[in-house]
Chain A
């Protein structure tokens, strides 16, 4: 693995910093986590701290040197962090469990996997353009999707901070998972809290972060956000990664060995595609194929369940 990584967190104009960020890597896998403790609730920073610490520790336990199933890791990590926060509240008889947003991302074999709850974001930027971005679990995001307001309205909307999914709340979090995203040389991944993206446009983020040197780009972007945030600037946190390996080269080199089992799976999918075209004699489905289909479905269920 070859990459550049940079992280920074500032309190903005708030008395405390309730954001927590961390990254961590082994020889073959990398983890990044950003959590934004929710100020309206008790001990927001505690929830954020538990989430980041819990997921990082799980990564250190499981990534030897890479994770068996990154999505399963993320799904378990976020769900367990949620329960750890609830346990913390129960142990101390808190009237209400503290809450936090969470975005966690794993990169291994030049493939990125991420999962999130709440409105902390992840951007994948390629060639100065946004290739992919998380969808906030916020009321305004829903209103935009429902066509009730435009994204310009959202910037000043009174409910812009209301989110419907988080770790530690009364309701089980809704966790969204990414697709497996192959990374190319020069791709930038940026994870940040709403203190950073709130005052800025997506285009501004893509432009600044796509520029190349993330060591300079992150502080520059945070300066912009903090200035625009004004007298009431929120906590700001960001982790940025610039990937220096290339997925295409990786797979070319290792297709015969490491990725062999994955490859045989792909062949399996092709059989379905052929069937779709309506070959006259029906293709038979062997017992092994049935078992494999069931296994595949069950692992998808595990990956996408809370």
Chain B
């Protein structure tokens, strides 16, 4: 189905008790606005508006929803609620905070704390190839505190990437956009099919038939890819391509002069294609990130992996 982009609500628009300032981002599933509340404090408002199901054209407030899409639209709303429900229970300095939830314009809105700062993506662009190891360890070490809280609530983020990691002006990283978390629900709804960001999504995320393979290790792959992106100043090769033909140079080979061996090994460990060979929990990864002396534990190789290695060593 060809998807047109939705037109955002205009600046100055009064939405419930908020005043829209401008659009911050536009995704396939939602639009995010910068707005101000009654006390004139800035907030970020996310509008549920999947463009495959509902279309708002120039000058309109209400989206038009084709008769046959009404049920799917409402079903997707459930998933939006799941995100809200999950985030509402999370109060952690490294996870974006939800402030309010309301209904208007025949759809629903989630109000979130707006933070001043910039995304890690912007930071990478600005400091191409100059990102220091201490920065990486500090930012990701703290971010993982937030991610651990997320996992503790039995939720996966599933769309971690530099543009979803926000650097507050006080230096604290904040994990944004839990939109993909809903995807665990929507496998049976082709119109709401998952949209992953190439380069950061784990290989098992491409295998939509086997959702049970997703786990903390899936987010951990994305963390590894995000650190890799900090070093390379660009996204790594997409995992589905890597499965076909792995052209991703290991971090250990690419930057032995710029980063410690231990950090590089940790990145490569996170980005293993076989999910069983990655750190299995955020805690395990955090340990590797905070402990500079200790070497990365040898990845738990599967029986087949071990066999393959032995064969390879014979060939050499």
Contacts and interface: CB of A to CB of B under 8 A. Distances in A.
A294 B97 contact: no
Contacts of A275: 75, 78, 185
A304 B88 contact: yes
Nearest to B291: A147
A285 B76 CA distance: 10
Interface in A274-306: 275-276, 278, 280, 282-285, 290-291, 293-294, 296-298, 300-301, 304-306
B17 interface: no
B75 A285 contact: yes
A297 B290 contact: no
Interface string B75-103: 10110011011001111010001111111
B286 interface: yes
Contacts of B185: 275-276
Contact of B102 (A147, A284, A294): A294
B101 A298 contact: yes
A304 B85 CA distance: 12
A301 B99 contact: yes
B38 to A, nearest CB: 16
B88 A278 contact: no
Contacts of B283: 145, 147
A300 B108 contact: no
A246 interface: no
Interface residues of B, number: 35
B75 A282 contact: yes
Contacts of A276: 185
A298 B111 CA distance: 11
A146 B89 contact: no
A292 to B, nearest CB: 10
B72 interface: yes
A304 to B, nearest CB: 5
Contacts of A148: 290-291
A146 B282 CA distance: 10
Given A290-B77, A300-B89, 17 more contacts: A146-B290, A148-B290, A176-B91, A275-B75, A275-B78, A280-B188, A282-B72, A285-B74, A285-B77, A291-B103, A294-B103, A297-B84, A297-B85, A297-B101, A298-B101, A300-B85, A301-B101
B85 A278 contact: no
A284 B101 contact: no
Given A278-B187, A297-B88, A300-B89, A146 B74 contact: no
A275 B78 CA distance: 10
